[in-house]
Amino acid sequence: MALSSMTGFARSHGASGPYVFEWELKSVNAKGFDLRMRLPPGWDELEAFAKKRAGEVLSRGTVYANLNVKRASSVSTIRINEEVLASIIKVAGVLAGKIDAVAPSIDGLLGIKGVIEVVEPESDEAEDKAAKAAAAAAFDQALSELVAMRQREGLTLGQVLSQRMDEIELLAKRAEAAPGRKPDAIKARLAEQIAALLESSDRFDPDRLSQEAIMIAAKADIREELDRIASHISQAREMIGKGGPVGRRLDFLAQEFNREVNTCCSKSNDLELTNTGLEMKNVVEQFREQVQNLE
């Protein structure tokens, strides 16, 4: 199963009977899945179908779906409202006997609001039903194209994330080989810190000294953190290779990476190890930013 981005765009066209329509779908990043639709009046029944279909193939991202419909080959007719016209003529006749005015012309009468009505062609139930079925099929086509585009972007994201994992692994190996990680270096730092403790008080409790020495020794090594980083790298590669909607899990893993790298930096008493940790932290942040785009 392929990785998918949460961003994408698709468009489809269709026609049925006198109707011509166009779907436009656009998806952006979001924590969950949401389909927001804009439909013309009379086409609302497509919303339930569209939400069901989109929910079957998408798990994250906000999708904006717009449907534009035009009625082709439809000619409006002009109709004269006889009742309104008769009333106006009657009033004009009454006024003619009371005031000195020019008799109303045909242009003037037709220009009065309500005399002329524009009549839209009546819709045909069978045509409307067929058009909505065709629009539903066109939505499926646009949705398939949207999924395909998101998967193409997901493929690129997967390659970028794999590169970030390679970089983190390389930096972890550099940290492993850092001079400050050598047993002699750790032993020397431990001896210095214990000596500093002894100098700070001539009445230092031997038991307390033992406890402090154990704590210092525990903080002097980053073996545990490096092991967990290696485990996270393995998990991330497995998720990237497996594909599917793994964005949330990779985002959580990015937080775990960051926690381990921060601990490595805080434990480090060696400049090279600190610099390596900071580089690793930067790569982890790049990894996390790319993961935010994944479904």
pLDDT tens for each residue of 174-202: 988 877 666 666 666 666 666 776 676 66
Fold of 154-291: Butyryl-CoA Dehydrogenase, subunit A; domain 3 (1.20.140)
Whether the pLDDT of residue 121 is over 70: the answer is: no
Mean pLDDT score of the chain: 85
Which of 66-75, 132-141, 265-274 is the most confident on average?
132-141
Torsion sign, CA atoms 205, 211, 215, 221: positive
pLDDT digits (tens, 9 = 90+) for 199-253: 766 666 666 656 655 665 666 578 889 999 999 999 999 999 999 999 999 999 9
Give the domain 8-74+124-151 fold.
Answer: Ribosomal Protein S5; domain 2 (3.30.230)
Domain boundaries, the chain: 8-74+124-151, 77-119, 154-291
pLDDT class for 20, splitting at 50, 70, 90? very high
Q: Quick check: 11 and 57 in contact, CB under 8 A?
A: no
How far apart (Å, rounded) are the C-alpha atoms in residues 212 and 234?
A: 35
Nearest residue to 71 via CA among 129, 15, 139 = 15
CA-CA distance, 108 to 116, in Å (whole number)? 12
Quote the pTM value.
0.73
Q: Are strands 33-38 and 61-71 parallel, antiparallel or unpaired?
A: parallel
What confidence tens digit (pLDDT) does each residue in 128-152 have?
899 999 999 999 999 999 999 999 9
Q: Are 293 and 3 in contact (CB under 8 A)?
A: no
- 11-20, 32-41, 157-166, 262-271: least confident range: 262-271
Lookup result for tokens 């929910």: 55
Q: Identify which has the larger pLDDT, 130 or 78.
A: 130
Q: Which tokens in the block code for residue 246?
A: 């793994």
134 burial via Cβ count (<10 Å: 0-12, 13-18, 19+): middle
Residues β-bridged to residue 36: 64
Provide CB contacts within 8 A for 156, sequence distance 6+.
none
Condensed to tens digits (0 to 9), the pLDDT of residues 34-43 reads 999 999 998 9
CB 282 within 8 A of CB 276: no
74 pLDDT more than 60: no
